[in-house]
Structure 1
C-alpha cells in the first residue's frame, strides 16, 4: 500500500514532470545529495540503460513500488553535531574487495529488471544481480577481505575497444569520517543503498561534484575529468580514479526514488572550516571513497566506460554488513580517530589491537 504522505522533492517532481510532458521518461536529479540536478539531461539521447532513472517499481524491498524504503525504526533523535573533537589526521578503515562478475544489471536503479542497465562491474557480494534485496545479500559469500562485509559495490564497466578491463585484486574502498566531529559517526543501517554521481552528468558537473577527489589519473597526470588519451606504457602505471560518497543520512529512508535524496554531503559550519551534516540529513555515517585501479595504459584513445565518457563515472553501494562487525570497525577506527587497514589495525598505533583476527573475523 502506497503511503500518500511520501513526496518527492519539488525539484525532482518538476524535472520528472518536464520529462513526462516531453515523452522522455524519467530523468535523474540529485536533490538533497549536493549534486548538480541533471535537468540538462532532458532531451539527451544515451544508449540503453544510460539513464539514472527514478524507480517506481515493486521489488523485494519495496513491495508497494513507490521508490521509498523506510528505515525501521527511523532515526529521529539526532541533531547535526557541531562539536570539534581533538584533531586526528586519519579516521578511517579499509574494505578491500575484489571484482566478482560483470552484468547489465542494477538492483538499485532497475530492481528486478535483468539486462536493463549498461554493463556494471560488481565487487564484494558474489550473488549480486538485478533482483538482489537486503535479505538475499545479507550473510552471503563475498570477495571482501572481511567475510562480514557482504555489501554490494558496483560501477560501470571499463572497455578498451571491445575488450572489457576489470580491476585486478582487492580494490581499496575507504570508510572515513566526512564530518569534523568524527566521534559522531555511526554505522550504516542495514539495507541502506545509494548512487554516487550520475551517468548523465556533463564534464563540468563531474568536475564540480562534491565527491570529486583527483579525477582520472595515470602516471603524473591528475585531475582529469575524462579518461586521458595516453598514459605512460610502464608496468607500474594503471588508470586510477577516486570518488567520495555523501555521508549524511536523513534517518528516515534506506532508499528514495532518485536513490540520492535520502543522503547529503556535509556542509561547512558558518564562520569555521568545520564540516557538519545539514539539518535535513542530521545522521553522520561513514564516508565511502572508491579508489579504483584498472590495468590499462599506453594508447587510451579507445578506452571508455559502459556508461559513456569518463565523466559519466558513478557508483552504487548496497549495505549488507554484519552489524556487530561494522560497528566494531567504525567505533575503533573512525570514532577512535585511527588509520586502520581491513582488520581494523593502525600500524602507527600498535598498542591498539586489531579489531578482527587473522581471518578478518570478529573474535
Structure 2
C-alpha cells in the first residue's frame, strides 16, 4: 500500500490520532531506562524529544517535563524522550559505518529523527476512553536478546520510494531497498493501572496490538486501563550502500543494529513520558484530537534543540568495531 492511500484514509478521520515529527536530539551510548546511570551504555541509540535527557533520569528526582527547556518534537508540550538502536552498514572487509536517518516526506527538513503516533483505537475512532501516561512512566517494546521476532508491532518496510507503506517484514529486508529501510515500533497500550515501570520495563503493560495500525484488541482484566497507542517510524537512508559488490560475498544483507544484530529480530524501542501538565489527557479527551490547542513550533526550532554529548567516542566514519563491542578505531 502506498503512502497516498494511507494519507487519504487519515484525512477522512483526522479526529482519531496525533502524528508528528521529532528531530534527532543526540546519538550516543546512553540508556536511562535499561541501563540507568551507566556511561556509556552497551550500545548506541538515536534519541529524540526533550533536552532533559541524560544517563539517569530518576523519576524520584522530578518530572522531566519540568526540567526540559526545549524539544525536538513538533508539539512544544511534548518533552518526552523516544529512542531506538542505531543502524550500521557492515562492509565486506568487516568495517562498519553508521547509516544516516532522514525524516518522513511530510515532516519537512527535520534533522533525522522519527515520526511519532499517538492513537486512541485506530485512525478511524476515538470513541473509547483513553487514559494518559503519568509523570515518571516509562516502557520498552522488543528486546535485543530476541532471536526470532514474532511481535506484530515490530516490523520493517523496504522502501521503494519515500512514500511506500505496506509489505512489512519481521526481519531486515534481504535485498537492496531503492529508498531505504523504515523500522516500525508499536508499543503496548494496556496498563495495569498501578505501576509506572516494572523490572523488565514491560510487565506493567500488556500488548494487544494486532499489527500495523489495526485496532488493538480489548485490554485484559490484569491490565485494564487503555492508554494511548504509541508508534514510531524511523527512516534509514541505506541507498548509499546499495551496491551489491559492497555486500558480503555470500549475498547476505549487510545491515546490523548497534548491538550487532544482523537479522533484525532484536529491534526495540524505549519511551519515557514527559508531556506537560494535562496536555496529553486533554488531547485524548478531545474531538478532534488535532484541534485542541496543542502548541507547535517550526522545524528550525525543533532542529535547534540539542544537548551536549555525554559519551566521548567515535560513532561515525569507518569503524573496525561497533561502539561498545571491543577496541575500536576509525578507518
Match of 2:255 among 303, 318, 325: 303
2:167 counterpart of 1:222:
yes
**How far did 1:163 drift?**
1.7
In the other structure, the counterpart of 1:60 is none
* 1:170-206 Cα distance to aligned partner (Å, 9 max, x none): 5211001248874211111111101101111123xx1
Q: Flag the 1:147–1:166 CA change in 2: closer, same or farther, 3 A.
A: farther
Please say if 1:202 is aligned against 2:159. Answer: no
Partner of 1:319: 273
Partner of 1:119: 44
Name the CA shift for 1:137/1:358 in 2 (closer, same or farther; >3 Å). closer
Indicate conservation of the 8 Å contact 1:267/1:277, yes or no: no
Question: Under a length normalisation based on structure 2, what TM-score does the superposition of the two structures give?
Answer: 0.67
Superposition deviation, residue 248 in structure 1:
0.6
Unaligned runs of 5+ residues in structure 2 are: 1-12, 91-95, 103-109, 248-252, 299-331
Residues 101, 359 of structure 1: CA spacing in aligned structure 2 closer, same or farther, 3 A cutoff?
A: closer
8 Å Cα contact 1:210/1:265 also seen in 2:
no
User: In the TM superposition, what is the alpha-carbon distance from 1:107 to its structure 2 partner?
Assistant: 0.6
**CA offsets 1:231-272 (integer angstroms, 9 cap, x no match):** 344xxx12112221100101111111011000002389xxxx
Contact 2:177 2:238 in 1 (8 A): no
Please name the residue that 2:138 is paired with.
193
Partner residue, 2:224: 282
- Residue segments in structure 1 that go unaligned for 5+ positions in a row: 1-87, 345-352
Q: Please report how far the alpha carbon of residue 274 of structure 1 lies from its aligned counterpart in structure 2 after TM superposition.
A: 7.9
Corresponding residue number in structure 2 for 1:165? 99
Select the residue among 227, 234, 251 that pairs with 2:193.
251
- CA 1:181 to 1:279, structure 2 compared with 1: closer, same or farther past 3 Å? farther
Cα RMSD, aligned residues only: 2.8
> 2:188, 2:206 within 8 Å by CA — same for their partners in 1?
yes
Matched, 1:265 2:203: no
SS of 1:147's partner is: coil
The answer (yes or no) to whether the contact 1:114–1:131 under 8 Å persists in 2 is: no
Correspondence for 1:108: 33
Structure with more contact order per residue of length (Cα contacts < 8 Å, sep ≥ 6): 2
Number of aligned residues: 247
Change (3 A) 1:142 1:181: closer
| 1:73 aligned partner | none
Structure 2 Cα separation of the partners of residues 194 and 317 of structure 1: 5
1:101 partner SS: strand
